[in-house]
């Protein structure tokens, strides 16, 4: 548990970067600090591992005042993930992951096992452990940055805008990864972000900051339904507030059947399936229905003369959403990015359905301007007869 008790950070000249901040993050929770530039969010987080010390007040970790702990020892017990990743270019991925365990004098055999276990957690092949950072994509490097923070089995992880420099699809994937990892590992995570969608999606509690003060510290649901003041409303945005209906509809409640194909199938079979199902896109899965990517009619038209199978032209950069996610937490991302569709998967990445932009737009219209229907009710009215619940 991390507890801030009236903590302030005052610089020379009396400038207050953080002004009497008090909040508690329970063990295993994920908390987000968000606000405008200069609001004090990064300074607040950096005080937890004493990269900067508070001027007034106390910060307690498991009821111990952190000023009573040696700063170096404290930092070795707290994982840290930064936006620019910070991997050592002259070290292999294995060496990067185990840099803190090595400082803690953990035997090499145990360090190797840790690296192998962690790289499996982020669904990367073990052979990448002996590569160097410049041989990995930006998203892969960021995954390594995340598991490096877990390598010494620290109970607390700090993240300073860890996904800010990534493209939207890679960012979505890493956000899902962090959420899934924390369900399994039960770490206490505090992260700083400028992205309200990210905060609402990931955090158990969100601290909205302005001019060094916490304006509201609450659950995402309560912040959406009961914003503390006009500043919070403006930061959330009108679109999100409109979508903050008290509705517990899940993505799987409104998804429709997906049309899938495996990578070894021929392009002629893909075209035949598209024509039969009257779709212009097919989700590509393996034989266990695990999502691998997609193909569409444009890709088929642009194929080279040597392309004969689905696997030859598959696009792997695809965003997905979990079926047990609240629909209201997904609407903003899909509509804002003008995605035509989003595959729906379960916890094992198996395809269980699809969300289309057209169906979501109809649902939103019904909820916002219809006759006081819930999202689920609007979705039921949209579904074809054969897919509605009896």
Q: What is the pLDDT of residues 22-78, one digit of tens each?
A: 999 999 999 999 998 889 999 999 999 999 999 999 999 999 999 999 998 888 888
Q: With contact defined as beta carbons under 8 Å apart, do 124 and 132 qualify? A: no
Average pLDDT over residues 247-257: 81
Nearest to residue 98, comparing CAs of 108, 86, 89? 108
Confidence check: pLDDT of 199 > 50 = yes
Asked which of 16-25, 243-252, 362-371 is least confident by mean pLDDT, the reply is: 362-371
Cα 210 to Cα 234: distance, rounded to the nearest angstrom: 12
Average pLDDT over residues 360-387: 50
Give the per-residue pLDDT at 381: 47
Q: How far from 382 is each of 25, 235, 315, 340, 389, CA to CA, in Å?
A: 41, 32, 30, 17, 12
Give the per-residue pLDDT at 209: 94
The 78-82 sheet, strands edge to edge: 78-82, 156-160, 188-193, 30-35, 205-210, 213-218
Helix %, strand %, coil % of the chain (to 5): 40, 25, 35
Helix (H, G, I), strand (E, B) or coil at 336: helix
Q: With contact defined as beta carbons under 8 Å apart, do 60 and 3 qualify? A: yes
Cα 221 to Cα 201: distance, rounded to the nearest angstrom: 10
Cα 255 to Cα 277: distance, rounded to the nearest angstrom: 17
Question: Which of the four pLDDT bands, split at 50, 70 and 90, describes residue 238?
Answer: low
Cα 193 to Cα 32: distance, rounded to the nearest angstrom: 7
Average pLDDT over residues 263-291: 91
What are the E-state strand segments in the chain? 2-10, 16-25, 30-35, 56-61, 64-65, 78-82, 156-160, 188-193, 205-210, 213-218, 260-262, 281-285, 291-296, 321-322, 341-345, 351-356
Task: Identify the burial level of 13 via C-beta atoms within 10 angstroms of its C-beta, where 0-12 means exposed, 13-18 middle and 19 or more buried.
Answer: exposed
User: Containing H/E element for 175?
Assistant: helix 168-185
Most confident listed range (63-72, 165-174, 338-347, 355-364): 63-72
Q: How far apart are the first and last CA of the chain?
A: 47
Asked whether the whole model's pTM tops 0.85, one would answer no
The tens digit of pLDDT for each residue in 147-168 reads: 887 777 788 989 888 776 667 7
DSSP single-letter state for residue 127: G
Give the per-residue pLDDT at 240: 66
Mean pLDDT of the chain: 83
The residues that bridge with 296 in the sheet, in sequence order, are 281
């Amino acid at each position: 548990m991390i507890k801030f008790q009236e903590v302030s950070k005052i610089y020379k000249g009396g400038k207050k970067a953080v002004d009497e901040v008090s909040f508690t993050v329970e063990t295993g929770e994920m908390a987000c600090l968000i606000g405008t530039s200069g609001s004090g969010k990064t300074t607040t987080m950096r005080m937890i591992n004493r990269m900067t010390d508070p001027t007034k007040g106390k910060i307690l970790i498991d009821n111990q005042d952190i000023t009573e702990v040696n700063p170096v020892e404290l930092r070795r017990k707290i994982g840290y993930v930064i936006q620019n990743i910070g991997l050592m270019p002259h070290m292999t991925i294995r060496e990067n992951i185990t840099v803190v365990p090595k400082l803690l004098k953990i035997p090499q055999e145990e360090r190797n096992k840790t690296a192998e276990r962690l790289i499996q957690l982020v669904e990367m092949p073990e052979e990448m452990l002996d590569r160097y950072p410049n041989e990995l994509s930006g998203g892969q490097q960021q995954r390594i940055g995340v598991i490096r923070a877990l390598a010494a089995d620290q109970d607390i992880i700090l993240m300073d805008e860890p996904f800010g420099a990534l493209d939207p699809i890679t960012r979505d994937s890493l956000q899902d990864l962090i959420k899934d990892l924390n369900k399994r590992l039960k770490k206490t995570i505090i992260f700083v972000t400028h992205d309200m969608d990210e905060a609402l999606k990931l955090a158990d509690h969100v601290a909205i900051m302005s001019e060094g003060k916490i304006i509201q510290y609450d659950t995402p649901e309560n912040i959406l339904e009961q914003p503390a003041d006009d500043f919070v409303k403006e930061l959330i945005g009108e679109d999100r507030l409109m979508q903050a209906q008290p509705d517990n509809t899940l993505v799987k409640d409104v998804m429709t059947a997906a049309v899938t194909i495996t990578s070894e199938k021929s392009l002629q079979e893909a075209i035949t399936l598209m024509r039969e199902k009257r779709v212009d896109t097919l989700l590509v899965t393996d034989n266990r229905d695990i999502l691998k990517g997609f193909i569409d009619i444009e890709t088929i038209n642009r194929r080279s003369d040597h392309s004969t199978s689905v696997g030859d032209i598959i696009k792997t950069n695809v965003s997905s959403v979990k079926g047990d996610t609240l629909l209201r937490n997904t609407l903003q991302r899909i509509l804002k990015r003008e995605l035509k569709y989003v595959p729906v998967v379960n916890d094992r990445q198996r395809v269980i359905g699809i969300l289309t932009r057209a169906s979501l737009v109809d649902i939103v219209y019904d909820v916002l301007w219809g006759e006081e229907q819930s999202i689920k009710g609007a979705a039921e009215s949209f579904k074809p007869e054969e897919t509605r619940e009896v």
